């Protein structure tokens, strides 16, 4: 089936996620959709698969204009999407997951479904135990199951959103083989990725998005440099940060490995110095967050050691991390950082170390008024935090950080903030660095990383590059690494 998206536009608030994006996918081809964080890839394919409604533009299937309002509409039009995080039912068995979503009335014919599942598995050489509980499967196996399920629903257009993150090499080989087989059977496939290698191996042609717009199209094979230029295509922002780095090490990591259900993060040895800012770049979900959480004491490393200012912290509790002056600023402020329903003053009281039983509200009020003045928060002491704007929530979070602050870990420190707030926030942070605070932060804004970091680590699929001084970074090198070509990684070499 030939799929055409014409002039699709979609806004979220004041963000133009898609700005008149057009895409044509011929039947029997694999079409890559390339772009960095926030380029608008996911929005575009979610419009096609009915998860998001477009503001304007048209969707044409085999030349006919169609309306796709829900995921069910999309399935009825033979369009299926494989999400980055599998949308399945972990407590159910493989077979039950396979059956869920099939249309039908009355009783389930399990035998027939089982035969269909077996047939499809054999066809693509997928090895699934049909009675295993989905929760016990690897991400790659869950993907295979989802693909088979979509195919059994008669899907002829398959969308894959970053399918190669978190799966093993052999699963990737099997996945790519299946994709090529499907294309040869006449299905059209849209492959969303930021990995140059995968795109070059699999796709027939690509469309590159940047900041919600189409930046170019190319036939594969195509030189890396061309694709990188399309993806990032600009001068990197010049570094703005003054020198604050001292010679003493602040954070020392040794042979760290962090396992989560989605991803295994492998880090070798890493040392961050007092007053240093390290920016963590890479596509979201490549392991940056795991590193930050682990350094904050909120996620345990499976192996390895962590030391802060020379003190062994590997097996310490989270409260010990707080006592050592380690602060963490989560990206989702109202979910992980602040408590809705409580005022600024309540938060200040919660963070005030006190031996007494009763809250001294007068004293707390004084502190709160002071914090509001110092951090320029637009709110009153009794303003509930959920009524503050994003920028003021971030200022409140900054006001609540422990003093003295030895290590600060931040996710997207300025996401959703206006320019003025961004500058103000970084001014405060750099002032902290001058007093010896070490900062690790992740951001999907490359300019922010270039401007404010001393060194940059690039993440891709749970692997991390060596820290690189910003002065040594070029757009091309950064683009290569974000695109998954990490030349040398922090991963400890395998002991033979």
Partner 1 sequence: MTKRIFYYQLASIALAIVFITAIILVVGASPPSVITAMWSGAFGTVGQFARVIATLAPLLLCASGLLFTFTAGLYNLGIEGQIAFGAIVSTLAIRLTQDSLPPALVIVLAILMGGVGGTLWGLLAGVLNVYGRINEIFSGLGLNFVADGLALYLIFGPWKREGVASMSGTEQFPESLWLPTFGNTDASPIALLIAIAAVAITLIILRGTYFGLRLRAVGQNLRASYVLGIPSIRQLLSAFAICGGFAGIAGALQVLAVFHRLIPNISSGLGYLALLVAMLVGLNAWFILPVAFFFSALNIGSLQLPLDLDLESSLAGVIQGTLVLFVLLARGVSESLRKPSTTPLHKGY
CB 392 to partner 1: min, Å: 13
Tokens of 205: 């042609």
Binding footprint of partner 1, residue count (CB under 8 A): 42
**DSSP state, residue 233:** -
CA–CA dist 200, 198 (Å, integer)? 5
Q: Which one of the spans 65-73, 174-182, 273-281, 348-356 is the region binding partner 1 (CB under 8 A)?
A: 348-356
Residue among 53, 51, 42 nearest 10 (CA): 53
Residue 322 binds partner 1, judged by CB under 8 A: yes
Query: Which residue among 21, 25, 33, 42 contacts partner 1 (CB under 8 A)?
Result: 42
Residue 362 binds partner 1, judged by CB under 8 A: no
Tokens of 188: 């059209």
Cα pseudo-dihedral 125, 130, 132, 137, rounded to 10: 30
Residue 346 binds partner 1, judged by CB under 8 A: yes
CA 261 vs CA 86, 140, 268, 286, 432: distances in Å? 12, 11, 20, 13, 35
**Contact flags string 15-34 toward partner 1, x per CB under 8 A:** x-x-----------------
Q: Which of residues 465-484 bind partner 1 (CB under 8 A)?
A: none
CB 76 to partner 1: min, Å: 24
Residue 357 binds partner 1, judged by CB under 8 A: yes
By the 8 A CB rule, do 68 and 77 touch? Answer: yes
Q: Which one of the spans 5-13, 175-183, 236-244, 308-316 is the region binding partner 1 (CB under 8 A)?
A: 5-13
Cα pseudo-dihedral 147, 148, 151, 156, rounded to 10: 30
Choice between 244 and 406, CB closer to partner 1? 406
Q: Which of residues 63-82 bind partner 1 (CB under 8 A)?
A: none
CB 368 to partner 1: min, Å: 13
489 DSSP β-pair partners: 465
Query: Which residue among 142, 241, 347, 432 contacts partner 1 (CB under 8 A)?
Result: 347
Residue 400 binds partner 1, judged by CB under 8 A: yes
Torsional class of 27: left (φ above 0), alpha (ψ -120 to 50), beta (otherwise) = beta
SS3 per residue for 62-108: CCEEECCCCHHHHHHCCEEEECCCCCCCCCCEHHHHHHCCCCCCCCC
Residue among 169, 113, 110, 109 nearest 138 (CA): 169
Counting every residue, how long is the chain?
Answer: 496
Tokens of 293: 């959480």
Query: Which residue among 60, 114, 342, 365 contacts partner 1 (CB under 8 A)?
Result: 342
Residue 496 binds partner 1, judged by CB under 8 A: no
Choice between 359 and 475, CB closer to partner 1? 359
Q: Which one of the spans 136-144, 178-186, 243-251, 355-363 is the region binding partner 1 (CB under 8 A)?
A: 355-363
Residues at the interface with partner 1 (CB under 8 A): 10, 12-13, 15, 17, 38, 40, 42-43, 46, 84, 284, 298, 318-319, 322, 328, 330-332, 334-342, 346-347, 349-351, 354, 356-359, 386, 400, 416
């Amino acid at each position: 089936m030939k799929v055409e998206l014409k002039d699709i536009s979609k806004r979220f608030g004041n963000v133009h996620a898609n700005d008149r994006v057009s895409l044509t996918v011929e039947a029997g081809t694999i079409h890559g959709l390339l772009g960095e964080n926030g380029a608008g890839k996911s929005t575009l394919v979610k419009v096609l698969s009915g998860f998001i409604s477009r503001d304007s533009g048209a969707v044409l299937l085999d030349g006919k204009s169609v309306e796709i309002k829900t995921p069910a509409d999309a399935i009825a039009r033979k369009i299926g999407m494989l999400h980055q995080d599998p949308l399945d039912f972990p407590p159910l068995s493989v077979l039950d997951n396979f059956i869920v979503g099939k249309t039908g009335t009355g009783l389930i014919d399990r035998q027939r479904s089982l035969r269909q599942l077996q047939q499809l598995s054999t066809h693509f050489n997928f090895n699934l135990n049909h009675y295993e509980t989905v929760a016990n499967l690897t991400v790659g196996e869950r993907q295979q199951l989802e693909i088979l399920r979509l195919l059994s629903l008669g899907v002829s257009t398959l969308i894959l959103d970053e399918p190669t993150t978190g799966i093993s090499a052999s699963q990737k080989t099997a996945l790519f083989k299946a994709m090529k087989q499907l294309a040869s059977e006449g299905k059209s496939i849209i492959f969303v990725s930021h990995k140059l290698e995968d795109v070059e191996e699999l796709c027939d042609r690509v469309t590159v998005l940047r900041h919600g717009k189409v930046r170019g199209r190319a036939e594969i094979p195509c030189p890396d440099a061309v694709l990188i230029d399309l993806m990032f295509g600009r001068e990197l922002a010049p570094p703005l940060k003054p020198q604050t780095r001292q010679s003493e090490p602040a954070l020392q990591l040794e042979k760290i490995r962090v396992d989560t259900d989605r991803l295994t993060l492998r880090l070798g040895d890493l040392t961050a110095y007092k007053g240093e800012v390290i920016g963590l770049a890479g596509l979201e979900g490549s392991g940056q967050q795991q590193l930050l959480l682990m350094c904050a004491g909120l996620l345990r490393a499976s192996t390895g050691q962590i030391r802060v200012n020379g003190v062994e912290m590997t097996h310490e509790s989270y409260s010990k991390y707080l006592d050592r002056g380690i602060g963490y600023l989560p990206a989702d402020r109202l979910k992980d950082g602040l408590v809705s329903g409580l005022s600024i003053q309540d938060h200040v009281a919660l963070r005030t170390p006190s031996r007494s039983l009763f809250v001294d509200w007068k004293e707390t009020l004084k502190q709160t008024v002071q914090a509001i003045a110092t951090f320029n928060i637009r709110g009153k002491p009794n303003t509930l935090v959920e009524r503050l704007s994003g920028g003021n929530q971030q200022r409140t979070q900054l006001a609540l950080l422990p003093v003295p602050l030895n290590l600060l870990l931040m996710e997207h420190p300025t996401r959703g903030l206006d320019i003025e707030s961004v500058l103000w926030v970084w001014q405060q942070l750099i002032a902290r660095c001058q007093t010896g605070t070490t900062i690790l932060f992740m951001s999907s804004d490359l300019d922010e990383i270039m401007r404010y970091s001393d060194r940059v680590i690039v993440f891709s699929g749970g692997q991390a590059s060596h820290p690189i001084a910003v002065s040594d970074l070029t757009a091309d090198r950064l683009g290569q690494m974000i695109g998954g070509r990490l030349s040398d990684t922090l991963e400890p070499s395998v002991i033979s």
